[in-house]
């Protein structure tokens, strides 16, 4: 049966600066590019190949995908880009330093904002320059679909329709699928695929550039799950 590989983008400039990012379109660093290339080289060396790739509309995921494709000599495969694979929206925290925010609001509050399943960070206010509604890359999305903040539950609810409509059908057709996305959009998928409880998902972390591999049976149940050795 088909294989699914999830890759979180390589280190971004705001990962390096320890800033909340969400839907802000920050690029990867040189270290992040090297992590992405290494992921591709390791996948190729282990005999993996892909028929189709999916990514978000954010350049840290897109560029990571390019590096993986290049390292695997798979620049030619179809790539589908969709905002539903974007990072979880960080609301009014977007752009703030994580350590400074913890110093101001306390470690526990920041842990809740970062890892709780259903507590949203404070929302962007109307007119905030960080609100991306109206940006051409979100042309197909309604006001309700372009968030002003999100908790992980919200992210699950906008990732899953895309999983069902586009990604799962490719796997059912026997295609090997690569997804290059983000820490929290991938946690949303992991929660669904591995049936992780709302409480346990708080402890799940997705490292930059580490391929996470799923083998499926014919009923789309994962039979083997693990990071590339």
Strands 212-216 and 3-8: antiparallel
114 labeled binding residue? yes
Helix (H) or strand (E) holding 81: strand 79-81
Element (H, E) at 55: strand 52-55
Residues 110/102, Cβ–Cβ less than 8 Å: yes
Say whether 32 counts as a known binding-site residue: no
Contact between 227 and 217 (Cβ < 8 Å): no
Task: Considering the complex, state which of residue 29 and residue 184 has its C-beta at the smaller distance from ligand 3PG.
Answer: 184
| CB nearer to ligand 3PG: pick between 20 and 48 | 20
**Minimal distance in Å, beta carbon 49 to ligand 3PG?**
28
The response to whether 209 counts as a known ligand-binding position is no
Residue 9 known to be catalytic? yes
Which residues, other chains included, contact 48 with Cβ-Cβ below 8 Å and sequence gap of 6+? 3, 5, 72, 176, 211, 213
- Min dist. Cβ of residue 183 to ligand 3PG (A): 4
As measured in angstroms, the least distance from the Cβ of 152 to ligand 3PG is: 9
Three-state SS string over 103-142 comes to: HHHCHHHHHHHHHCCCCCCCCCCCCCCCCCCCCHHHCCCC
Residue 167 or 201: which CB sits closer to ligand 3PG?
Answer: 201
13 annotated ligand-binding residue? yes
Question: Which C-beta is closer to ligand 3PG: that of 72 or that of 211?
Answer: 211
Main-chain phi, psi angles of 177, to 5 degrees: -120, 135
Is 143 annotated for ligand binding?
no
Neighbour tally for 211: CB within 10 Å: 20
Residue 87 marked in a binding site: yes
Residue among 9, 67, 150, 182 flagged as catalytic: 9
35 belongs to the catalytic site? no
Residue 9 CB, shortest distance to ligand 3PG, in Å, is 8
Name the residue nearer to ligand 3PG (CB basis): 90 or 216.
90
Sign of CA dihedral 36, 207, 166, 223: positive
What are the φ/ψ torsions at residue 32 (nearest 5 degrees)?
A: -65, -40
Q: Which residues of this chain interact with ligand 3PG, rule CB under 6 A?
A: 20-22, 87, 90, 114, 182-184
Nearest approach, Cβ of 48 to ligand 3PG (angstroms)?
Answer: 25
Binding site membership for substrate: which residues? Answer: 8-15, 21-22, 60, 87-90, 98, 114-115, 183-184
What positions carry a catalytic annotation? 9, 87
Binding site membership: which residues? Answer: 8-15, 21-22, 60, 87-90, 98, 114-115, 183-184
């Amino acid at each position: 049966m088909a294989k699914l590989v999830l890759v979180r983008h390589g280190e971004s400039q705001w990962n390096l600066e320890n800033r909340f990012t969400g839907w802000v379109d920050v690029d990867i660093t040189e270290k992040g590019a090297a992590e992405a290339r290494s992921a591709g080289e390791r996948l190729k060396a282990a005999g993996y190949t892909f028929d189709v790739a999916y990514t978000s509309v954010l350049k840290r995921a897109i560029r990571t995908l390019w590096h993986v494709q290049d390292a695997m000599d798979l620049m030619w495969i179809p790539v589908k880009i969709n905002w539903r694979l974007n990072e979880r929206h960080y609301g009014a925290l977007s752009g703030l330093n994580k350590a400074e925010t913890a110093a101001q609001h306390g470690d526990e509050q920041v842990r809740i904002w970062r890892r709780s399943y259903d507590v949203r960070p404070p929302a962007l206010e109307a007119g905030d320059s960080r609100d991306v509604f109206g940006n051409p890359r979100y042309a197909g999305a309604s006001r309700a679909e372009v968030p002003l903040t999100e908790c992980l539950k919200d992210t699950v609810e906008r990732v899953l329709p895309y999983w069902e409509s586009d990604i799962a059908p490719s796997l059912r057709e026997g295609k090997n699928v690569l997804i290059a996305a983000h820490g929290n959009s991938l946690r949303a998928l992991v929660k669904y695929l591995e049936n992780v409880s709302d409480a346990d998902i708080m402890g799940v972390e997705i490292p930059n550039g580490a391929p996470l591999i799923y083998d499926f049976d014919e009923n789309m149940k994962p039979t083997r799950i693990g990071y590339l050795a």
